[in-house]
Amino acid sequence: MKEQAKHQINLEESVIAITGLEKSFDELDVLKGVDFTLYRGENVAVLGKSGSGKSVLIKIMVGLLRPDAGQVWVLSKEVNELKRKELDALRLRVGFLFQSSALYDSMDVYQNLSFPLVMTKKQLTKKEVDQEVYEALDAVGLTEKVNEMPADLSGGQRKRIGIARTLILKPEIILYDEPTSGLDPITSGEINNLIREVQERYNTSSVIITHDLTCSKHTGDRIAMLLDGKFIKIGSFENVFASKDEAIKSFYNYNFIQESHARIS
Ligand SMILES: Nc1ncnc2c1ncn2[C@@H]1O[C@H](COP(=O)(O)OP(=O)(O)OP(=O)(O)O)[C@@H](O)[C@H]1O
């Protein structure tokens, strides 16, 4: 892991630790014994086919879904043991970037960013809120969009504003759900760079859910391959895809071809 020194990954300290996680919906067994560790300062990209349970996994991490079995520790708290208030407090320390960016369409960029801040830190002055909003917009390179409405932004800009809105609460962990979905290859590349910049500037640890090979390679210090309800391989991009496992090889070949098509079309 050559990125280790650069991002100061602390292999002594886990910020997420999962053991024996299982989750089913009626007859459908989605997660069948997931073990996973995210270390402080590290980015792990979770790769898997559509429907493999990637989103279910991150929803369980923030207590939006309850597991059927197993333990999920986030920032040293057992998520399923937490009372409502404790879970709310934990969620302030864990930013969640939804696939859709989930901006409020009726609010401009300033209001989208200031809203979560004033809801959680009611004692802040207007000047302090302004400062935080501009700092978060600066981190994503979009200070000039402060008064725009979400509908007037491009897809890539909406993603950036979504990231700024996550950053404004200074989370220790960020969970990205398909950060590059629906974006062209160049804009995807910019978002991948931004995910790395955020990791360095804010000292965050992140899980990046994706089926985009390029995104996983650029944003992940490690790659975790979710297949058939379990992580079948976790390691560097090169290490994971050097595997002789037929399922991993076929995932790589399929997605490599899809992405090559996207680049030339
Ligand atoms: N609340 C729910 N109730 C019933 N089934 C669900 C629920 N949430 C997820 N599922 C099912 O669990 C499976 C895994 O879903 P999930 O959204 O985690 O997949 P994914 O790997 O994130 O896929 P994609 O890459 O397409 O977003 C799917 O078959 C989905 O239909």
Instruction: Tally the domains of the chain.
Output: 1
* Mean pLDDT by groups of 10 residues along the chain of 265 residues: 62 92 96 96 93 92 94 95 93 86 89 92 91 94 94 91 93 94 89 93 94 93 93 92 85 75 63
Ligand 1: residue of 28, 56, 66 to mutate (most ligand atoms within 8 A of CB) is 56
Q: Which residue has the tokens 């090889």?
A: 249
This prediction's pTM: 0.90
Quick check: is 57 in a domain? Answer: yes
Distance CA 31, CA 20 (A): 9
> Which residue in this structure is represented by tokens 């404790």?
86
Q: What is the distance between the alpha carbons of residues 105 and 257, in angstroms, rounded to a whole number? A: 35
Strands of the sheet containing 205-210, edge to edge, are 94-97, 173-177, 205-210, 43-48, 222-227, 230-235
Regarding the beta carbon of 104 and ligand 1, being less than 6 Å apart is answered no
Q: Is residue 108 part of a domain?
A: no
Determine the structural domain holding residue 27 and report its residue range: 4-103+174-260
Q: Helix 109-120 to helix 126-139 angle, to the nearest 10 degrees?
A: 120
Which ligand 1 atom minimizes the distance to the CA of 52? 21
- The reply to whether ligand 1 has any atom less than 6 angstroms from the CB of 54 is yes
Query: Nearest CA to 171 among 207, 139, 204, 122?
Result: 204
Q: How far is CA 192 from the centre of its chain?
A: 11
Q: Is residue 118 part of a domain?
A: no
ipTM confidence score: 0.97
As a whole number of angstroms, the distance between CA 174 and CA 207 comes to 7
Cα of 52 to ligand 1 centre, how many Å? Answer: 7
User: 37 in a domain, yes or no?
Assistant: yes
- Domain harbouring 67, CATH code: 3.40.50.300
Ligand 1 touching residue 51 (CB < 6 A): yes
- Angstrom distance (rounded) from CA 28 to CA 16: 25
In a domain, 205, yes or no: yes
